[in-house]
Amino acid sequence: MKLDNMAGMSFDLVIFGGTGDLAWRKLLPALLQAHRHGTLPPQGRIIGVARDELSDAAWRALIGERLAAVDSDKRPSAEEFERFAQLLHYQRMDLTRPEDYAQLKGRLAERNADVVVMYLATAPQLFTVACEQLGAAGLATPNTRVVLEKPLGHDLESNRAINAAVRGVFSERQVFRIDHYLGKPSVQNLLALRFGNALFEPLWRRETIASIEITIAEQLGVEGRGAFYDQTGALRDMVQNHALQLLCAIAMEPPINAHADAIRDEKLKVLRSLVPWTQATLAQDVVRGQYAAGMLAGQRVRGYRDEDGVAPDSRTETFVALRASIANWRWAGVPFYIRTGKRLAAHEAHIAIHLRAAPHAIYRTPLCGTNRLDIHLQPRDGLTLHLFASASETRSSSAQAAHAAAGAAPALTPVQLDLDFEQRFGAERVGAYERLLLDVIAGRLNLFVRADEQEAAWQWVEPIMQAWDEQNARGEGPRPYAAGTWGPGAASALVARDGNTWVEEC
């Protein structure tokens, strides 16, 4: 990414929650990478905000210690960090105290930057008070942008309340609702695949595609975040945002241009076309699970209810699989399978586009005898097209010769066309948070979620949450699955009812 229209731009980036987990694990490493790549405008200032009593020097030292522990390829040298540290400043604030916002206003007025970004890397319950206080302090100026991290609310009602409070202070063009999956290079390539190549458009519809699978699998457990996760669960944490955004990217119609609202208008149409849930489909087409103890990568790992911060009788789901349908002409009759979970057999995210079988079989195909396009999101970033080729038969084999003489259909063997984007473009690519933070500074909204998108997503998933609440009241919890597997067996039965399998079962 080039500086282009950001050359010479001055900015202040205020990170609320500047000593928190998100700041040092994601935001500051991403900003360091942008600084290293020369894409972060040099006339910038990064101000960490938290309740801790720290000086600028103490905060810089804290960040330096934590960045020294990141992956070796992203770890800064002493010289790199010294240059980056000149951008780092700290301000003690209590987000409920108006006088603290007045002090922040005074600090920002010291240089009157071209752009001021307020990044709310805090608990969602603080979004409303922070935005209201920013407005009351006169900090919501036309050159101010506010970034809201997920989860934006706990349900539809709380999401609407937060967005209403934000709209009372900021216009929609100033609000950047972040979903870091949209910043992944692989997701950008998904959009380029669809809308930058005429090859796929005639095939991208119900007449050619039999089913679509979206998998976001994690081998990790809750990793010390048990108290947070036990109030959230996989549906809120992954399906309502990441998975549905991927579904939109796959299913949306071509936008009229690459402008933010043109893209987001088409995504909204997909969300509004999702077939609503009924009691029958909730019972048949949704599976929730919770990991139990098991073996993972040769190590015995404990079950979810034994994790720190998790209630011993918790009914929070760590796995979700569901079957979605889109009621429009392009996708009518095509099932979309979404699956996500923790402590699964692999760490990977992919989209599998299963194509329909040839209308008349003149060859013998393998058991999974249809073509498939795999879009790899993590840890790989690339495409694999699964095709079939004629399997050459050894002339010396009398059995094969007799088989051919009898007029049997010749056999096919699977072959793959593989494109690895990291090999093609190089491993030093722009990360998700790096891309998104630069887009916020530049004012590009294309990769951020609009309020009506979020509301439509919450509307669709809320009946699932309500059904699970009713099940919990009856003493019915999620289905257990052993850590290191692909989830409850009911997830396989979910797709098998349509005559399909998950890719690892094929």
Chunked mean pLDDT (size 10), the chain, 506 residues: 64 95 92 92 94 94 87 79 94 95 95 95 90 96 94 91 94 95 86 89 94 97 91 95 96 94 97 98 97 94 96 97 98 98 97 91 77 92 90 54 58 89 75 94 95 97 97 96 98 96 91
Q: Which residue type does 416 have?
A: Q
234 occurs within a structural domain: yes
- Whether residue 486 contacts residue 345, with contact meaning beta carbons closer than 8 Å, is answered with yes
Do 248 and 386 sit in the same domain of this protein? yes
The secondary structure of 210-247, three-state, reads EEEEEEEECCCCCCCCHHHHHCCHHHHHHHHHHHHHHH
Residue 503 within any structural domain of the chain? no
- Is 171 a domain residue? yes
Q: Is residue 506 part of a domain?
A: no
Exposure letters 95-110 (e unless 16+ CB within 10 A, then b) = beeeebbeebeeebee
187 and 169 in one domain? no
In a domain, 228, yes or no: yes
Q: Rounded to an integer, what distance in angstroms lies between the CA atom of residue 85 and that of residue 364?
A: 64
* Residue 365, C-beta contacts closer than 8 angstroms, at least 6 positions apart: 388, 412
48/156 same-domain check: yes
Q: Which single residue is written with the structure tokens 């282009």? A: 4
Check residue 394 and give its pLDDT. Answer: 47
Domain annotation covers residue 203: yes
Residue 505, domain member (yes or no): no
Same domain membership, residue 259 and residue 209: yes
71: CATH:
3.40.50.720
Question: Is residue 120 part of an annotated ligand binding site?
Answer: no
CATH number at residue 433: 3.30.360.10
To the question of whether residue 95 is assigned a binding role by annotation, the answer is yes
d(CA 240, CA 177): 14
User: Pairing relation of β-strands 10-16 and 115-120?
Assistant: parallel
pLDDT score recorded for residue 4: 53
DSSP bridge pairs for 13: 46, 117
- What value, to the nearest 5°, has the Cα angle with vertex 208 and ends 207 and 210? 95
- Looking at 177, 204, 223, the residue that finishes a domain is 177
The last residue of a domain, from among 130, 162, 177: 177
Range of the domain at 484: 182-498
Residue 504, in any domain of the structure: no
Residue 237 annotated in ligand binding: yes
Known binder of ligand: residue 344? no
Type of residue at 103: Q
Q: Is 386 annotated as ligand-binding?
A: no
Domain count, the chain: 2
Q: Looking at 129, 161, 177, which one is the last position of a domain? A: 177
> Do residues 313 and 443 both lie within one domain?
yes
Half-sphere exposure of 84 (CA within 13 A, CB side): 26
Instruction: Give phi and psi for 454, each to the nearest 5.
Output: -60, -45
Structure confidence at residue 461 (pLDDT) = 98
Whether 477 and 402 map to the same domain: the answer is yes
Whether residues 402 and 258 fall in one domain: yes
Confirm or deny that 267 is annotated as ligand binding.
Answer: no
Same domain, 171 and 205: no
pLDDT of amino acid 333 = 97
The answer to whether the annotation marks 150 as part of a ligand binding site is yes
Three-class SS of residue 102? helix
35 labelled catalytic? no
Task: Report the b/e string of 261-299 with b at 16+ CB within 10 A.
Answer: eebbbbbbbbbebbeebeeebbeebbbbbbbbbbebeee
CA-to-CA distance for 238 and 215, rounded, in angstroms?
11
Both 274 and 172 in one domain: the answer is no
* DSSP structure class, residue 121: -
The rounded distance, in Å, linking the Cα atoms of 26 and 4 is 24
Give the pLDDT confidence score for residue 469 in this predicted structure.
96
Asked if 36 and 165 sit in the same domain, the reply is yes
Query: How would you classify the pairing of strands 43-50 and 336-341?
Result: unpaired
- 3-state class of 283 per DSSP? helix
Catalytic member of 35, 89, 154, 242:
242
Same-domain pairing of 128 and 277: no
* Residue 444 assigned as binding residue: no
Looking at the fold, whether 249 and 377 belong to one and the same domain comes out as yes
381 is in an annotated binding site: no
- DSSP E strands: which ranges in 218-358? 286-292, 294-296, 299-301, 319-324, 336-341, 348-355
* 140/127 Cα distance (integer angstroms): 14
